[in-house]
Amino acid sequence: MSIYEFKLSIPFPLIGFQLLEVLNPVVVIAIPHTLHIRVRFRSSREFSVNIPGIPGIEVLKNYIEEFLEKLAELLELRKKFSIDLIVSCRGIDLNSIPLISLYTVITTSILSTISGLRDRELLKYIDTVSLAVDKSLNLDQNLLYGLRYSSISGKSVICRYGEGCIELKKSIAIEFKSIESIDVDSHIIDIRSVIGDIGIASALTKLLGISTLRFGVDSSINSTLLRLVLYLECFLQLHNIYGQSIRIPFEPNTYIKCLRDIDNKLKIWFLRIESL
């Protein structure tokens, strides 16, 4: 039996969600709280994961076990093992963290344990190993690339898979005011199906991409652009959701962030964002 401990930054996908066959840039914010992870490996006849006290535990557990199976195939690992995880964080409710972010941090810590790599060396490794596994699980390589980079580096970044990440010069502080959740049929959005017109869908995709790049690299851009991008993202992800009442608070410095998470729930965060 082996025990390892990690302290990793919590990455929050401020801009970006999973679009079918689209690799738009994403903006990931490193929340100023550290996730403490204790990993215990034990020999076993099959891969299994035990994670007590985590919201959405069954979905998260299933994804991590599938991650282990695919990783073992890729690395040709002969011995199977079970993993006991203890995850904790001070100053933030784990229920307010996207499951995709928890998946990112936990699997990154597992990958670090297996490879023996940390920090910048681990960043190089995830590009060739973990992202291939993420793709096989039908998860967005683009979004996962940004989340993993932010978690390991502790930096807020703008990323696009295949082009690398740029650390943001601006300082952004996020406070979670509240969160709502709605069941959906998939965590992936086909923007062409939502819009029904290939030309307009292409134009909206480019608008989102260009706006994200401008927000990420130009420190003079104000909060209006961020609000526009976030509302457009919500509009696209609210497709085919009817009869739902969503309260949107119109307050200074309050923003709405929508994300179809890996548990097939559309989660809506109301955020207070400072230092834009």
- Give DSSP secondary structure letters for 227-266: HHHHHHHHHHHTTT--S--------TTEEEEEEE-TTSEE
Token pair belonging to 199: 């030309």
Q: How confident is the model at residue 88 (pLDDT cuts 50, 70, 90)?
A: confident
CATH number of the structural domain spanning residue 24 = 3.30.230.10
Same domain, 48 and 141: yes
How far apart are the C-alpha atoms of 144 and 11, rounded to whole Å? 10
Same domain, 140 and 203: no
Q: How confident is the model at residue 253 (pLDDT cuts 50, 70, 90)?
A: low
Same domain, 138 and 58: yes
What confidence score (pLDDT) does residue 243 get? 46
Question: What's the average model confidence in pLDDT over 192-205?
Answer: 82
Please list, in sequence order, all residues whose beta carbon lies within 8 angstroms of the beta carbon of residue 213, skipping any fewer than 6 positions away: 25, 158
Same domain, 29 and 126: yes
DSSP 69: H
- Domain termination residue (choose one: 152, 167, 182): 167
Same domain, 126 and 142: yes
For the CA atoms of 191, 25, 172, 135, the dihedral, rounded to the nearest 10 degrees, stands at: 80
Is 157 within 8 Å of 168 (Cβ atoms)? yes
- Domain termination residue (choose one: 112, 133, 167): 167
DSSP run (H or E) holding 85: strand 81-88
What confidence score (pLDDT) does residue 239 get? 67
In the chain, the percentage of residues whose pLDDT exceeds 90 is 18
Question: What's the average model confidence in pLDDT over 210-215?
Answer: 84
Residue 155 phi/psi, 5-degree rounding, is -110, 150
Same domain, 200 and 129: no
Which residue range is the domain that position 248 belongs to? Answer: 173-274
Q: Is the pLDDT of residue 189 over 60?
A: yes
Same domain, 194 and 229: yes
How much is the mean pLDDT over the chain?
83
Same domain, 47 and 134: yes
Q: How confident is the model at residue 204 (pLDDT cuts 50, 70, 90)?
A: confident
How confident is the model over 96-144, as pLDDT tens digits? Answer: 899 999 999 999 998 888 888 887 788 877 777 887 888 889 888 889 9
**Tokens 């709605």 found at:** 182
Question: What's the average model confidence in pLDDT over 250-265?
Answer: 82
Same domain, 198 and 140: no
Same domain, 246 and 200: yes
| Residue 117 CA to its chain's centroid (Å) | 22
Threshold 0.75, pTM exceeds: yes
Token pair belonging to 25: 């840039």
- Domain termination residue (choose one: 167, 186, 213): 167
Is 243 within 8 Å of 167 (Cβ atoms)? no
Tally the domains of the chain: 2
How far apart are the C-alpha atoms of 246 and 268, rounded to whole Å? 9
Same domain, 178 and 163: no
Same domain, 96 and 138: yes
